[in-house]
């Protein structure tokens, strides 16, 4: 199909789905209110222990219910709005909100999320063409498998077991979609699975020895499920993408080297792969570093504005983000020698 036709089709689908999602009130069981006017009832100032003051408003919205059996009824609801909006939300006329009797629950956000997803798909198609779309499809399939795994967990199957199986399925799907069926991909898959198992083993040993000492579980304590259950799978899945990336890069580079010089010795193969490994090590760590470490920013701001010192905060609250980054980086660095070894074993054997 022509590239332009596909693009126009994609834009058309996007416009239709955004319009549909904007008007999809009828598929929700909860009542949705469309705000027609907002008036401020009361204006006040609150302050915390450090004396930081901010404006607090008591407001009332008027709106029409757009779905369910009360459709068309006009309703007034009072709510509180704060300048910082740490836990409150700021509404404006035209917004749709979910309501539960006489409380506003939350904003209807699906339109914006779908809009952004569609923009993303169009952008990835323009830059990455069909391969871009393929990677979107593999992301979708992986997300569905992820969700199925969670449901199985709630049915009582051991989560670490599910996680290992899922990791294997994830890597097969992503790598096969990205590279097709060939020896390169096969050796990448074997490297990824081996690395995952070794990292799992390492994590279990480290956590048994240290007994999770120094890790603050505030963030996941609310789950009311055993922490060991969640932490290790979470770390494992978080590092999986990077491991796959390294696995496929190493195996393609090695197969490239063999293609260029069929008589290349194993020794010089190891030497060249080591050079390649050095280069990927630093860039991959950067990717993980920023995505993980920044996640703590809102909490840090809140804590410091409440008089917690920065050193105390890092010591007590930042630990889990750092753990995620460390495990991810260990995954990367560990996969380099493993995938080198396996790729050379598999790819060199066929050529001799």
Partner 1 sequence: MNIVLLIILLLLMLYIDIKRGIKLFISIIINFIILIILFYLIAIGINPIICSILGCLIVSYIILFFVNGENLKTISSFKSIIIVLIILSISIFMITKLSRTAGFEYDLDEDISIFSTSVNIDFIDISVALVLFSLIGATIDTSVAISSALYEVYENNKNLKEKELFKSGMNIGHDILCTTTNTLLFVFLGDFLTLFIWYYKGHYSILEIMNAKTFSGEVIKILFSALGCIIIIPITSYITTKSIIKLKNKRIKIKD
Contact range with partner 1 by CB under 8 A, out of 4-12, 150-158, 263-271, 343-351? 150-158
Q: Judged by CB, which is closer to partner 1: 64, or 322?
A: 322
Residues 6+ apart with CB under 8 A from 103: 77, 79
d(CA 73, CA 64): 6
Give the nearest distance from C-beta 250 to partner 1 in angstroms.
12
Q: Which of 64, 165, 168, 281 binds partner 1 (CB under 8 A)?
A: 281
Contact range with partner 1 by CB under 8 A, out of 9-17, 68-76, 259-267, 284-292? 284-292
Q: Which of 3, 266, 271, 305 binds partner 1 (CB under 8 A)?
A: 305
Q: Which of 1, 39, 72, 224 binds partner 1 (CB under 8 A)?
A: 224
Residue list 159-218, contact with partner 1 (CB under 8 A) = 170, 174, 178, 202, 206-207, 209-210, 212-215, 218
Residue list 81-140, contact with partner 1 (CB under 8 A) = 82-90, 98, 106-110, 112-113, 116-117, 119-120, 123-124, 127-129, 131-132, 134-135, 138-139
- CA dihedral sign of residues 137, 140, 146, 148: negative
Within 61-182, where are the H helices? 110-154, 159-179
Order of strands across the sheet with 103-107? 74-82, 53-65, 31-47, 96-100, 103-107
Q: Judged by CB, which is closer to partner 1: 11, or 113?
A: 113
For residue 82, give the 3-state DSSP assignment: strand
For residue 157, give the 3-state DSSP assignment: coil
Q: Residue 318 to residues 132, 144, 327, 328: CA-CA distances in angstroms? A: 35, 31, 15, 16
Of the candidates 208, 286, 217, 216, the one whose C-alpha atom is nearest the C-alpha of residue 245 is 286
Residues 20-49: x where in contact with partner 1 by CB under 8 A, - otherwise, as a string: -------xxxx---------------xxxx
302 makes contact with partner 1 (CB under 8 A): yes
Q: Judged by CB, which is closer to partner 1: 29, or 39?
A: 29
Cβ(146)–Cβ(159) under 8 Å? no
Give the nearest distance from C-beta 186 to partner 1 in angstroms.
17
Q: Which of 3, 266, 271, 274 binds partner 1 (CB under 8 A)?
A: 274
For residue 59, give the 3-state DSSP assignment: strand
Q: Which of 294, 312, 345, 351 binds partner 1 (CB under 8 A)?
A: 294
Consecutive H or E run containing 42: strand 31-47
Q: Which of 263, 286, 349, 350 binds partner 1 (CB under 8 A)?
A: 286
Q: Judged by CB, which is closer to partner 1: 10, or 293?
A: 293
Q: What are phi and psi of 243, to 5 degrees?
A: -60, -45
């Amino acid at each position: 199909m022509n590239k332009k036709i596909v693009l126009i089709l994609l834009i058309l689908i996007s416009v239709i789905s955004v319009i549909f999602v904007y008007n999809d009130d009828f598929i929700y069981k909860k009542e949705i209110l469309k705000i027609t006017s907002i008036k401020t009832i009361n204006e006040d100032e609150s302050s915390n222990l450090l004396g930081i003051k901010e404006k607090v408003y008591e407001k009332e919205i008027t709106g029409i219910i757009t779905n369910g059996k009360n459709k068309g009824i006009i309703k007034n609801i009072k709510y509180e709005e704060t300048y910082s909006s740490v836990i409150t939300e700021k509404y404006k006329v035209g917004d749709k909100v979910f309501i539960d009797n006489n409380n506003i629950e939350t904003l209807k956000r699906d339109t914006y999320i779908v809009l952004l997803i569609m923009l993303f798909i169009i952008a990835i198609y323009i830059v990455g063409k069909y391969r871009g779309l393929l990677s979107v499809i593999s992301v979708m399939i992986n997300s569905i498998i992820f969700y199925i795994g969670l449901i199985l967990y709630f049915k009582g199957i051991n989560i670490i077991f599910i996680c290992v199986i899922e990791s294997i399925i994830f890597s097969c799907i992503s790598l096969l979609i990205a590279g097709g069926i060939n020896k390169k991909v096969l050796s990448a898959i074997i490297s990824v699975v081996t690395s995952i198992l070794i990292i799992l083993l390492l994590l279990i040993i480290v956590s048994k020895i240290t007994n999770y000492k120094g890790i603050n579980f505030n963030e996941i304590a609310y789950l009311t499920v055993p922490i060991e259950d969640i932490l290790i799978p979470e770390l494992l899945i978080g590092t999986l993408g990077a491991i796959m990336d390294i696995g496929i890069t190493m195996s393609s580079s090695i197969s490239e080297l063999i293609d260029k010089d069929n008589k290349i010795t194993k020794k010089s193969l190891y030497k060249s792969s080591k050079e390649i490994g050095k280069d990927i090590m630093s860039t991959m760590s950067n990717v993980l570093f920023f995505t993980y470490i920044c996640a703590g920013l809102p909490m840090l701001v809140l804590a410091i504005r409440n008089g917690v010192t920065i050193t105390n905060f890092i010591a007590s609250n930042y630990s889990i983000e750092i753990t995620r980054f460390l495990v991810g980086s260990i995954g990367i660095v560990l996969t380099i020698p493993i995938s080198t070894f396996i790729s050379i074993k598999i790819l060199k054997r066929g050529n001799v």
